[in-house]
Amino acid sequence: MLPARPRVIAVANQKGGVGKTTTAINTSTALAALGEKVLLIDLDPQGNASTGLGVEPNQRDITTYDILTRTASLKEAARPTAVPHLSIAPATMDLLSIDIELSTFSDRALRLREAVAGLSQDKGAPRYIVIDCPPSLTMLTVNALAASHAVLAPLQCEFFAMEGLSQLLRTIKEVRESVNSELTIHGIVMTMYDARNNLANQVVADVRATMGDLVYETMIPRNVRLSEAPSYGKPALLYDLKCAGSQAYLRLVSELIDREQRMGVA
């Protein structure tokens, strides 16, 4: 059984290029801006969430690799960021070998859940943990879903969106049946939306018709400032609070918290 606190949300989609890391960074930042203590766990070997929060590769002494191999705790890996109340457990390319290194261990899918449970005993534990998952179904993604209460799924407004979503839904079903019966879908957020694009509008309509209320009302627009922010090591909300992308993520987190309250977990 998962600890009730902290509340763990995995940002996941097995399809790449859907705005997953951007969503993880800016959702975490918006939660922190509301005064919540937040830990972002970078579980992608590319380490883009770490870079996007200004953590250079040479600053990643203790990483999520160390957590999964049990050579460090989440508390030891977490480091502060430029965003008040937001810390990050960074990632490096070392994570690429995790599937092989853990292959002989019977508890290989539960390493991150164990680490989160250990952190929950700490008085200074965060209120929210957000996990940036890799864009593939590996032991890293399974660990993230096994440790999470819910999944936030970014979905790009493009032709193959439903294909990526169906893959993710199958994975969630398998994880529920095997290692985490408590896992739910928090919501689906449409990303890279352009209202001038007829295909984008059709994709949104199709996803809403299929998934109903699971789809957030807020949609994340295509936005240059969102794309620029990571190159400066900043979340978009710090880089340009007034841009359309930042404002959309603030609305998304408002919706997220509203859903948390309706679920009775906020």
Inter-residue contact 15 to 134 (CB < 8 Å): no
What domains does the chain contain, in order, with CATH numbers?
Answer: 7-260 (3.40.50.300)
Helix or strand run (H / E) with residue 50: helix 48-52
pTM: 0.95
Ordered per-residue pLDDT tens for the chain, 266 residues: 776 679 999 999 887 778 899 999 999 999 999 999 999 999 999 999 999 999 999 999 999 999 999 999 999 999 999 999 999 999 999 999 999 999 999 999 999 999 999 998 888 899 999 999 998 888 999 999 999 999 999 998 887 777 778 888 999 999 999 999 999 999 999 999 988 888 889 989 999 998 999 999 999 999 999 999 999 999 999 999 999 999 999 999 999 999 888 877 76
- Residue 239 confidence (pLDDT): 94
* Burial zone of 160 (CB within 10 Å; 0-12 exposed, 13-18 middle, 19+ buried): exposed
According to DSSP, the residues that pair with 79 across neighbouring strands are 88
- Residue 265 confidence (pLDDT): 72
